[in-house]
Amino acid sequence: VVWGMLGNRQFCSYKITTKTQNFCRNEYNLSGLCNRSSCPLANSQYATVREEKGRCYLYLKTIERAPFPRRLWERVLLHKNYEKALEQIDENLIYWPRFIRHKCKQRFTKITQYLIRIRKLTLRRQRKLVPLRRKIERREKRREEKALIAAQLDNAIEKELLERLKQDTYGDIYNFPIHAFDKALQQQEADSESESEKEEEEEEEDVDKREFVEADDSDLSDFEDMDKLETSSEEEQEEETEVEKEISHSKSKGKTPLKGAARRKRPHIEIEYEAETEPAAKTK
Amino acid sequence: EKLAAKKKRRKEREALGDKAPPKAIPKTIENQRVYDETTVDPNDEEVAFDEATDEFAPYFNRQTVPKILITTSDRPRGRTVRFCEQLSTVIPNSHVYYRRGLALKRIIPQCIARDFTDLIVINEDRKIPNGLVLSHLPDGPTAHFRMSSVRLRKEIKRKGKDPTEHVHEIILNNFTTRLGHSIGRMFASLFPHDPQFIGRQVATFHNQRDYIFFRFHRYIFKSEKKVGIQELGPRFTLKLRSLQKGTFDSKFGEYEWIHKRREMDTSRRKFHL
């Protein structure tokens, strides 16, 4: 009667239909499907296995208690031992239909298996999923972009580096001690013919250049050719006595530990000298 | 309407000529920043004393050499792996180890036993790195950051080469408050003390509005007033999520600072770092 009403014809609130199958949402359902034999409402003699807080219970429903909904489901605590619990199920459902007995045992097996798994997993490290919040993500992203624009990183870095240069943290590596250089320039322009100054400058420049050449050799293994050109052009410079040229060359030479962005300057310099140095190289 | 007002003001200024009042300074968020009482004064004695006795003192007294272990969360994807490698080239004396499902709590004593000073864990989500845990090892503070906008070396537009083995300099910009100061020292303790200026490389941690931008550049001084920089090396931005006093311990650790969204994100002009 009950099944006739609920089964296929009228409405059962526990029934869920999907494309291929019908499911039963009732907690006491043994298999989870909506069948004539698995509906706890339609069968007056029914049994299920459910677990609560890690312990398994066998729930029984009999005809005699049908008018007492409160006492309808009787529950039996099952033993923790798997085999003993199976025996218990057998003993309780002794004269019951085979289907229910079998399904109960299957369900019990599945439950114990997943309980074991839970216990094993909690021993390991669990991964905690923290949900992202879309609005917050968007907000953060926007703020980051604006902060990036406000930061003006390149300028800040350049400023900091120049500061450090001024404060002499780099010591004597770079030969622009500002004031000394300007003074030197002025002196040269004033008396460009006095030999002592020339000699001094030549020595200084040679020393500097030599330092740089060494630095070049250590840093730039690729630029062997350029090094050769430089050394030969240096010899050329020593021959030339025009002071101003030397200054400008030394300036550019001073920057020769070049990489990357300023590489463009190098070809310029090289081109200037190539014509002069080629005969020298050839004669050698 | 604003344009009209501007034009009027400009005309007035031109009309007045030399006697015009000075130009108004535009309001920026940095100008309007809510004053944070924990801002560090350079001459503050208490701060100086604190710093002399905190966990980074041995580093700053040059007693310890930084040795860093970089690792990821489980099963890192290609991008994260490559990022780890690049990070290890940026930070000298660092080693990358894969984490095959080892618990952090067990790694940490091993690291201490092998004399590592810092541990970096890069957390990954959906194939991109998105979190960074930086902990100073012999019982030092642990900082947990959210990492965003990570660019690998080949994604940065440049024509230069890879960073060399020289020890590079560090720039720490804009770490003003106490919290910021301690984080800044944490970053500084990753790098060895003596930069080799021949290498001309510099790593920058720039803090702006609570976002820390990391860049890695090579610089050249074109003249005494001009410097050229060329970016090489990975770049990323970090946002501090929490700072713990001890080493990494999510359940029992003592948090020195957590970012609480409800309280701390309300004002647009209040920053903590």
In a domain, A266, yes or no: no
Is 50 exceeded by the pLDDT of residue A8?
yes
Q: Compute the distance between CA of residue B150 and CA of residue B235 in angstroms, rounded to an integer.
A: 6
* Interface contacts (A, B; CB < 8 Å): 106
In this structure, are A168 and A88 located in the same domain?
A: no
Any idea which of A171-180, A189-198, B94-103, B139-148 has the lowest mean pLDDT? A189-198
In this structure, are A22 and A84 located in the same domain?
A: yes
Instruction: Give pLDDT tens digits for A234-254.
Output: 444 444 444 444 344 434 343
In a domain, B114, yes or no: yes
In a domain, B2, yes or no: no
Q: Is A2 on the interface with B (CB under 8 A)?
A: no
pLDDT at A218 (0 to 100): 38
In a domain, B15, yes or no: no
Q: How confident is the model at residue A185 (pLDDT cuts 50, 70, 90)?
A: low
Domain that holds residue B217: 39-265
pLDDT at A108 (0 to 100): 93
Q: Is A45 helix (H, G, I), strand (E, B) or coil?
A: coil
Q: Compute the distance between CA of residue B122 and CA of residue B80 in angstroms, rounded to an integer.
A: 8
pLDDT at A191 (0 to 100): 62
Q: For strand A22-24 and strand A15-17, is the pairing parallel, antiparallel, or unpaired?
A: antiparallel
Residue with tokens 């060494």: A214
Closest CA to A219 of B164, B136, B190, B177: B164
Q: How many CA atoms lie within 13 A of B69 on its CB side?
A: 22
CA angle A233, A238, A243 (to 5 degrees): 105
In a domain, A252, yes or no: no
> Of A74, A107, A123, which closes a domain?
A123
Contact A258 B224 (CB under 8 A): no
Q: Compute the distance between CA of residue A220 and CA of residue A215 in angstroms, rounded to an integer.
A: 8
Q: Note the residue count of chain B.
A: 273
Q: For all residues of chain B together, what is the average pLDDT? A: 80
Task: Please name the residues between 79 and 108 in chain B that touch chain A, using a CB distance below 8 Å.
Answer: 101, 103
Instruction: Give the gap in angstroms from C-alpha B85 to the nearest C-alpha of chain A.
Output: 23
Backbone angles phi, psi at B35, to 5 degrees: -65, 125
In a domain, B26, yes or no: no
Contact A262 B103 (CB under 8 A): no
Chain B residue with CA closest to A212: the answer is B198
Evaluate whether B121 touches B133 at the Cβ level (below 8 Å).
yes
In this structure, are A13 and A50 located in the same domain?
A: yes
In a domain, A21, yes or no: yes
What is the pLDDT averaged over residues A160-165?
A: 83
Chain A residue numbers touching B148 (CB-CB < 8 A): 140-141, 144
In this structure, are A108 and A157 located in the same domain?
A: no
pLDDT at A110 (0 to 100): 93
In a domain, B7, yes or no: no
In a domain, A108, yes or no: yes
Q: For all residues of chain A together, what is the average pLDDT? A: 71
DSSP B170-205: EEEE---BHHHHHHHHHHHTTS-S---TTT-EEEEE
In a domain, B270, yes or no: no
Is 80 exceeded by the pLDDT of residue B229?
yes
Contact B213 A215 (CB under 8 A): no
- A244/B172: higher pLDDT: B172
pLDDT at B228 (0 to 100): 84
pLDDT at A251 (0 to 100): 41
- How many folded domains does chain A comprise? 2
pLDDT at A117 (0 to 100): 93
Domain that holds residue A34: 1-123
Report the 10 Å Cβ neighbour count for A51.
15
In a domain, B152, yes or no: yes
Model confidence pTM above 0.80: no
A139, A181, A215 ranked by CB distance to B198: nearest: A215
In a domain, A139, yes or no: no
In this structure, are A79 and A181 located in the same domain?
A: no
Q: Domain of A88: which CATH number?
A: 3.30.390.110
In this structure, are A86 and A182 located in the same domain?
A: no
Q: Compute the distance between CA of residue B88 and CA of residue B75 in angstroms, rounded to an integer.
A: 19
Q: Is A131 on the interface with B (CB under 8 A)?
A: no
Q: Is B123 on the interface with A (CB under 8 A)?
A: no
Backbone angles phi, psi at B96, to 5 degrees: -105, 130
Q: How confident is the model at residue A109 (pLDDT cuts 50, 70, 90)?
A: very high
Q: Compute the distance between CA of residue B147 and CA of residue B250 in angstroms, rounded to an integer.
A: 19
What is the pLDDT averaged over residues B203-222?
A: 87
In a domain, A55, yes or no: yes
Q: Domain of B181: which CATH number?
A: 3.40.50.10480
In a domain, A221, yes or no: no
Q: Is A97 on the interface with B (CB under 8 A)?
A: no
In a domain, B32, yes or no: no
In this structure, are A111 and A158 located in the same domain?
A: no
Chain B residue numbers touching A151 (CB-CB < 8 A): 206, 208, 213
In this structure, are A177 and A110 located in the same domain?
A: no
- How many folded domains does chain B comprise? 1
What is the pLDDT averaged over residues A252-277?
A: 41
In this structure, are A4 and A119 located in the same domain?
A: yes
Is 50 exceeded by the pLDDT of residue A217?
no
pLDDT at B41 (0 to 100): 67
- In the DSSP assignment, the letter for residue B125 is E
In a domain, A225, yes or no: no
pLDDT at B57 (0 to 100): 74
CA angle A13, A15, A21 (to 5 degrees): 165
In this structure, are A1 and A94 located in the same domain?
A: yes
